[in-house]
A = this chain, B = another copy of it.
Amino acid sequence: MARVGTRPENRHQARFLRILRDSGPQSRAELGDAVELSKSKVAIEVERLAELGFVDIVGLAASRGGRRSQMVALSQNLRFVGIDIGATSIDVAVLDGELNLLGQDRAETDVRLGPRVVLDQATDLVAKLRASLAGGSVAGVGVGVPGPVSQAEGALVAPPIMPGWSRFPIRDVLGAALGAPVMVDNDVNVMALGELHAGTARSVRDLLFVKIGTGIGCGIVVGGEIYRGVNGSAGDIGHIQVDGHGPVCACGNTGCLEAAFGGAALARDAEAAARSGRSAYLAEMLGKTLSAKDVGAAADAGDPVSLALIRDGGTRIGKVLASLVSFFNPGLVVIGGGVAGLGHPLLAEIRSVVYRRSLPLATGNLPIVLSELGGTAGVVGAGRLISDSALSVNGQSATN
């Protein structure tokens, strides 16, 4: 990569780069098959991509009968950076052109400290990680943040409980600090992209990725691309009302899904069960603040109250998902986020409710699975986000 911000010059070059990113090294003949270009034109475009620093010629392919064709791979120097900012943590990763993880790091944070502090922390983490990894040239940085994002502004818009972040120019500030093009998106969308690139969802075009963390959100993939809705708020299912008489939510409404389940709600319910003495297991853990993880540990140890809390949460998520599955008819549902770590009892309950309540036509072949990527979905997806842009002609989308 000679120059930061270099882009492919036409849609054939862009298509070649996507293929090399998603399917690994290819012979020139294979690339030619994929785009219906003459041999000589393929050769010209590949040569140009090598000159631009996007690809390397890595040898000769096996013969297909005639002369052996050159093997082409994404440049070994190509790097993307993925940053996943959560409410209480920052994950960063350096990825190669195919979005394989070359290294990653993590730090505790608190988004309530405001964007300057948190983004400085992220910049330092990236710098430290880059220094520990030899070579490479960063073609772009993808960032996931826990709230509604305006893509046009590269900023959060009115995120709940994140004072100082609304319209703060994350893209521009990180771009200046890291010296590379930056793209910002909602954390759940970014995780869905990660699943699409490297997880169970690789071969699926229409899917839902449900993140159950402190809060609850849904990434929607239509035709292999993230669907964001007209205001970028699509998939914000945490505030769907599941119980007219339920607890008051942080958003001010009553009975939101997120107020009934999710990391924060589970911690609250565990605390109550411990203090009231209903769960001896949880009561033993008191003295520190209880978390969703503690509920999982207590359930594993055989605590019926904790198991009931998890099952009850699964039922609530399942009811909402059943409606969404009937409506959206996806090919796959992936459950991720920290609370998904509760594992099988949660998944079993969600599946049971969805399969019972959705239309048979919509669930006939519908797998509902836990994320395989776990904690890396966010950083890999952030890399995918920026690589979709960096490997396109105009930086806009995956369609050219």
Contact = CB atoms under 8 A, between A and B. Distances in A.
Interface of A: 148, 157-158, 205-206, 218, 220, 222, 227-237, 239-241, 253, 319-320, 322-324, 326-331, 357, 359, 361-362, 364-365
A237 B326 CA distance: 6
A329 B361 contact: no
A359 B323 CA distance: 17
Contacts of A220: 327-328
A231 B329 contact: yes
25 contacts: A157-B361, A220-B327, A222-B227, A228-B329, A229-B328, A229-B330, A229-B362, A230-B329, A231-B365, A233-B329, A233-B362, A234-B327, A234-B329, A234-B362, A235-B327, A236-B329, A237-B323, A237-B326, A240-B322, A240-B326, A240-B327, A241-B357, A320-B323, A323-B324, A324-B327
A240 B323 contact: yes
Nearest to A148: B361
B229 A206 contact: yes
Contact of A331 (B158, B230, B239): B230
Given A230-B331, A234-B327, A253-B357, 8 more contacts: A222-B222, A230-B329, A230-B365, A231-B329, A231-B365, A233-B359, A236-B326, A241-B357
A191 to B, nearest CB: 17
Nearest to A366: B230
A329 to B, nearest CB: 2
Contact of A362 (B157, B231, B320, B328): B231
Contacts of A148: 361
A285 B6 CA distance: 75
Contacts of A319: 241
A148 B230 CA distance: 28
A284 to B, nearest CB: 36
| 9 closest Cβ pairs, A-B complex | A229-B329, A234-B329, A230-B331, A233-B361, A240-B323, A233-B329, A233-B362, A240-B326, A222-B222
Contacts of A322: 240-241
A328 B229 CA distance: 6
